[in-house]
Structure 1
Amino acid sequence: MVAKILDGKSLAQKIQTKLQNQISEKVAQGKRAPGLAVLMVGDNPASAVYVRNKEKSCQKVGMESFSRHFSADATQEELEEAIAQLNQDERVDGILVQLPLPSHLDSVGLLLKILPEKDADGLHPYNLGKLVRQEKGLRSCTPAGVMEILKEYNIDIAGKKAVVVGRSILVGKPIALMLLEENATVTIAHSRTANLAEVTKDADILVAAVGKPEMITADMVKPGAVVIDVGINRIETSEGKGKLVGDVDYQAIKDIASYITPVPGGVGPMTVAMLLQNTYLSYLVSTEKVQS
């Protein structure tokens, strides 16, 4: 068996093309374009790449970008003031604080300052509460992207055993709730889980979201399982070159799984697509309020 590739890159392009058409239609009707604001602090090279990609994606679909770059010594008060201004700016539908932040800043405190209806990342407690209650709302981008991939490839979730390795509020917990919402039987595994390989080998759907390069090995995967790799880790090859790998040993597992996401080109592009989709959904609500 050779696993079928779950191509997140092509799906993300499909979603962005749909958004581009929807936005151009709204603009043709005389409405403003949606707006996304990304706040970046410092000069983290990886963050700079992510922000540039988000800005390019905004431009591609016809969204306005209101990115703001702060120096590494920016204060909590400066950022809170910037968020307050963006909350009041009617051109801005989505706000995102690019992580990681310098250690002197409180990322949770900043998240709480964003209006829930402008929470493009879907991580505000109000939006996470809606997820717990299975109510419509803005969903955390990376887990939402995973669910879109499963849907695109018609992978049956109901009644299946799903194991999520990782319990972060960014990915692990929300993806577990989303899988539960689709009637999977869900187990969350983590660093304290006893006999981890036994737990993961029981999974029909295995989601790896731990941030450890190639931690999930072939002996941890049930033959025919669907393997979703959320990890993006930069390692150095024996030639001294940088290389991106996931949390899954892709080469070993691609001959065991029925479906697998590659790294790069799997879940990563979907995160940005869901960010744009969340912003567009907020825009629709905002423009409906203005009309009414």
Structure 2
Amino acid sequence: MIRRERMLRMGAGLAIAMSMVLAITNARAQKTPMGRCASIGDQEDKCLCAKGAKACGCTACTRDEKCACIVAARKAGGSVTGKIKLYRTRVKTKGAKSYKDVVVYLEKVGKEGDFPPPPSPARLDQKGLVFIPHVLAVQKGRTIELLNNDNDKHNVYLLYDLKTGKTETKNLGTWKPGVTRTHVFKEPKVVTALCKLHLEMAAYFVVLDNPFFTVAKIDGKSQVASFTIKNIPPGKYRLNAWHKRLKLKTGPVDVVVEAGKAAKADLTITKSKYVAKK
């Protein structure tokens, strides 16, 4: 009889504890601004959980606060889609150091800390005396793995312009095949990566403030690129683009993003001499 009463009391205590956990979880979910989660890849197609949480599909995330909030954020967001055309020029789209990559991004989305970088690292490889990819767009604060899957030693040497107009350099070192090192950029900037041991190697890091960007590829035949930026909070933004040789013909474009809708915005890039004067 006494044993039965103890078991009943234990069961009641467990039920109360579970109720408290559920209440705390619900309270946290309600306090999450815009339903955003920490360390979520906003441009990912899958429903990604924060680091340490179990992976889950977007159709059944309600049991996990992190998954539930990313679903809510995406339902509340919109997108920007469009084409990039070239004006009075053509570019080479084949080869390791081609000109096909255009980084398209939104300026100033939210405030500092609203969109933490994804937990998974970005990767720059070195193979066949080539940096892969040639252009790597990455959110500031995200870890970048610098791999060496080549048969030779490699070096990574960074070169970038400062706001003062001066050029800053940083040597990340030299390492053997099979070795990986990491680096984190804490501020938005465009950085050229070189290898001191193989002067023909070059790549570009385009470091951005927020996760609302994509790398569009110019088609060799049509000389046109298509792009889509997803899961954007509703609002008015400026759409900008970076290319290693060409510039936006008329500067950044204003776009208005509405929940559940795709805003259309086309861009034109050209040589500096054809850029419209302000």
TM category, shorter: under 0.3
Q: Where is the helix percentage greater, Structure 1 or Structure 2?
A: 1
TM-score by length of 1: 0.22
Structure with higher Rg: it is: 2
Q: Where is the strand percentage greater, Structure 1 or Structure 2?
A: 2
Structure number with the bigger relative contact order (C-alpha 8 A, sep ≥ 6) is 2
TM-score by length of 2: 0.22
